[in-house]
Structure 1
Amino acid sequence: MTVRERTQTIEEQTLSPYAALSKNTLGRDTPEEECTLRTPYQRDRDRILHCKSFRRLKHKTQVFLSPEGDHYRTRLTHTLEVSQIARTIARALRLNEDLTEAISLGHDLGHTPFGHAGERALNDLMEGGFRHYEQSVRIVEKLEKSGAGLNLTKEVRDGILCHTKGTEAMTLEGRVVRLADRIAYINHDIDDAERAGVLHEKDIPREITSVLGGRRSERIDTLVHSLVENSLDGRIRMDPEIQEAFDKLYDFMFEYVYLNSYAKAEEKKVPNLIGALFDYLRKPENLPDDMRRIAEQDGIERAACDYIAGMTDHFALELFQDIYVPKSWNI
């Protein structure tokens, strides 16, 4: 028996009947020989962790555009917080922790520079729109590894695609990630907003804090406990009172942070910047060599969109300056 087979036997003996067993995976689009050490979901996690798109998340905006300070969240630290929360829930429910982690680490690979402002800009430019969760799947299926993709299992790709809105994931692990994502970003965005002087935790209405708690750690603990205690029957959900307070907290954050004119002042510049880059890159001669293959297969606008979506905030700014800002003349 290989190490992988032994791990899969342990999964079968110890995980919940609602868990996704790695031995029962729906597989990959391109069949591969099994690893002797790692299960398919462990291999997917490792592939995501080592890919270029994952590394670029460290320089992509979470909520606050180009914040000055080392302690604000980036898309990468958000991803790690989602992974930690999701794994805690999955372990408590005896779900497949490896699948949960793989989905968590891959869920935001397709996020644009400048956060949701960049996503909205590309959505306005692209025929058919742009959605970061679809782009995340496109990255792992087609863009990574010079067009070969990561060849991930069906369950991981489905969890990535369904991590935000619309259809629920086919696995409970994917459904856990969807809620862990929301738990993570709402609570760490409060922390970042307080650091930025946009709000204070004491501003959160008493009707919310009396149910969820007044501090970030208390709120996360309350939400995670409620999820675990109410999901033992294979339906991922919270206690109705907790869910209602959580929804109110989301609405509060939308009004006081996500739509806050001070916090979002710089975002009004993003559509012009993204639009200018898009216009420049729609000329084939301006695309980098590795994106010309995409242009030939899917069209020049798709290639320009893919290239921009993959940029970090820093790279997008530098490219814009290089193209459109006059340089000093050195004699």
Structure 2
Amino acid sequence: MLRFAHTEFLWGLAAVPVLIILFIAVTTWKKRAIIALGDKDVVKKMIPQVSFSRPWLKFILFLLGFTFLVIGAADPQIGSKMEEVKRKGADLMILLDVSNSMLSEDLSPNRLENAKRAIAQLIDNLHDDRIGIIVFAGQAYVQLPITTDYSAAKLFLSTINTNMVPTQGTAIGAAIDLGMRSFDFKNGTGKAMIVITDGENHEDDAVIAAKKAIDKDVSVHVIGVGSEKGAPIPIVQNGRQVGFHTDSAGKTVMSKLDENMCKEIAAAGSGSYVRASNANSGFNIVMDQIGKIQRKTYDSKSFKDFEDRFQFFLGFAFILLMVEFFISNRKSVRLSRVNLFEVKK
């Protein structure tokens, strides 16, 4: 496997076609200048020591040296060893509510962004556990399959927004069912789900779904986001808030945290319930509970290390540039006197 440690330096290769164009332009200008002086053959005899081929040789050597120099600066690296790394962990699925009510601002900056920030901190603290992400509103979708690639997890997490699910609502039960289908039960390792929601379930029976999960030894934990007092649901268009959602009577809709629903789901799934706040995301308490589940050793292929190869490219660049430096634009006087094909009379 090949990679570059400093890919930004590869932009220097964009100068190669520019240098070629400039060199051709200067060479063409010189030829025209010579032609303007008179007959080409006569002018050449007037300047016998001027070489017309050596500038091309010097330029080619310089261009190759420059190219190797840029590649060397980018530090090409080769993955030297592929090995199976033994990991011991559990499978963790995050179920994140992305319904419009998650834009309410009773948590800073809003419920959804507060939850995403907490999930990012959780990912930073993971080591060998595998993680997946499901987003749900009126329907549920797998945003990230179970993986140990924490960098990818944070990348997928950053793209989550309330426009991802076209059908509005809060189908917690559907999300739990999808989470169950996303697990690999053959690996035998412990499994758990963390539902992050304001608890306003309007679509299905999440309690029954949680009971089905615990029947297969998958605990369901719930983190409630929001407040009992509630907050209005912003209407966002083109990244700007243009008002708040209203009911049929024209009154502003207040989205409140349904703690009773959250507690029922957690109880049915033999998990814990924590109410999130600006100061405490609740993940520490939930992860303490999840830490008690069984962790099993599994294999994960990875490159053990990468070896630098920049020294070869820098070495070639140095040799080529040194050769270019010592080649003169003029013909050698001594060599010009040698004529191997001259017939002596």
Higher helix share: 1
Superposition TM-score, scaled by structure 2 size: 0.24
Q: Which has the higher strand share?
A: 2
Larger radius of gyration: 2
Q: Which is bigger in relative contact order (C-alpha 8 A, separation at least 6)?
A: 2
